Structure 1
Amino acid sequence: MPEASRRRPLGLAIWLIIAGVIGWYAAFALTIERFHLLADPNATASCDFSILVQCTANLESWQGSVFGFPNPILGLAGWVAPIVVGAALLAGARFARWFWLLFWAGMLFAFGFVIWLISQSLFELGTLCPWCMVTWSVTIPTFYAVTVHAMRSGVFGRSPGLLRFSRGLMRWVPLATIVSYGIVIIVAQIAPTRALTNIFGL
């Protein structure tokens, strides 16, 4: 068994709790805003700061209810998992390989969904939703951290090459996160032309 799998991943556990709380609160705030808009269709969300920085356009679009209900409900349910897993790891729990595979698959779905939402927000809706960006900011590093932990713990296999590659990889997660944020920022600078076209029908 790899050494990393015998140690409690305290850093990962703490991050999962922090990210889970932040992500859950962002989902909660968006859910409240959605209820507010449903109660009063003429109202504006409290996170609407300008035509480009707002929540209303995202919440009321079809992209905001991809599965037939508001996306924030996914966050309310989904972000509970990292909190529970992080707390369990702090308490000394050890999970089977199948559990880590399922947890990683859930994070992979969240990561892919966030990437899609970012593209829709920037290129189709032409907006930057503040609470959505909070969700993006914690989903990306959480996916990276869980992936690296799964790799170095032998979840994806125990080939010596893979284990060697994953050893020490966790220290690169912050840099990978910053690079990812940078890519989003760069794309956001390119997107406004398309965004203005969508908004004003030019």
Structure 2
Amino acid sequence: MCLGAGVGLFASLMLAADTLKLARNPNKALGCDVNSVLSCSTVAESWQAEIIKFGGLSFPNAFFGICFYAVFVTVAVVGACNVRLPRWFPIATWWGGLAAISYAYWLMSQSMFVIKALCPWCMTMMFATTVMFMALSHATVTVQKIPRRHRKGLCTYYRMRYDLMVDIVWIFAIIALIFVKEGAAIFS
């Protein structure tokens, strides 16, 4: 979980820096603009890149990613230190991780099917969030003993490492989807 959150934090920082570069120089290509399909600028200029608006201001998603991943790095370190936490904390953390992965996949679907451009930093964050959520789910069940119902089936699922197999198949399925949808254009 710490590794996934750390990679996501780094990608968020890089994307935030690119967002600031783009704000300062709107017509300048970014370093992560490889071609028409792999283009941070195209994604950053879409409305999906700044869905939070408050008081006439819009806030880039990358800034929220910095906060989110920093919190999850902290939670992973606390978990690694075997700090005893109240039961509500791991439940809230899991729900937060579920919200994060849902948001990451919504953004990825918007990139692929609506914006029709892929941001390398955004894809890195989506994969990092996927790995982080998978590790978080594993720890929630095996370490925190949550949920209390269906324990036997879930414990067997994790003890037999079925989760690892599902995780690997899931990640390869996403990669395959990206290459099926945009494969030829990625390498052009």
The answer, yes or no, to whether TM exceeds 0.5 is yes
| Superposition deviation, residue 189 in structure 1 | 4.0
Structure 2 CA distance for partners of 1:141 and 1:45, relative to 1, 3 Å: same
The alpha carbon displacement at 1:165 in A equals 1.3
Q: CA RMSD for the aligned pairs?
A: 1.9
Aligned to 1:10: none
Q: Is the 8 A contact 1:123 1:191 kept in 2?
A: no
**1:32-47, aligned counterparts within 5 Å?**
32-47=17-32
**1:59 aligned partner:** 44
Q: Aligned to 1:27, which of 12, 23, 31?
A: 12
- Pick aligned residue for 1:169 from 151, 157, 162: 157
SS in structure 1 opposite 2:52?
Answer: coil
Conservation of the 8 A alpha-carbon contact between 2:3 and 2:132: no
Matched to 2:138, the amino acid is V
- 8 Å CA contact 1:27, 1:72 repeated in 2: yes
TM-score by length of 1: 0.80
Of 74, 99, 108, the match for 1:118: 108
Moved more, 173-182 or 121-130: 173-182
Q: Which residue of 2 aligns with 1:132?
A: 122
1:21 positional shift: 1.4
Residue in 1 that maps onto 2:171: 181
Confirm or deny: 8 A CA contact 1:55 1:130 kept in the other structure. yes
Letter of the 1:64 partner, please give it: A
For residues 114-161 of structure 1, give each alpha carbon's deviation from its aligned partner in whole angstroms, at most 9, with x where no partner exists.
1111111111111121111111111112212212322343322x23xx
Report the CA distance between 1:183 and its aligned residue: 2.4
Q: CA deviation at 1:182?
A: 2.5
How many residue pairs were aligned?
176
Structure 2: 5+ residue runs without aligned partners?
54-58
Q: Distance in 2 between matches of 1:188 and 1:97?
A: 39
| Partner deviation per Cα, 1:149-182 (whole Å, 9 max, x = no partner) | 22343322x23xx111121434233322222222
Secondary structure class of the residue paired with 2:27: coil
Asked if the contact 2:5/2:73 (under 8 Å) is kept, the reply is yes
Identity score, percent: 27
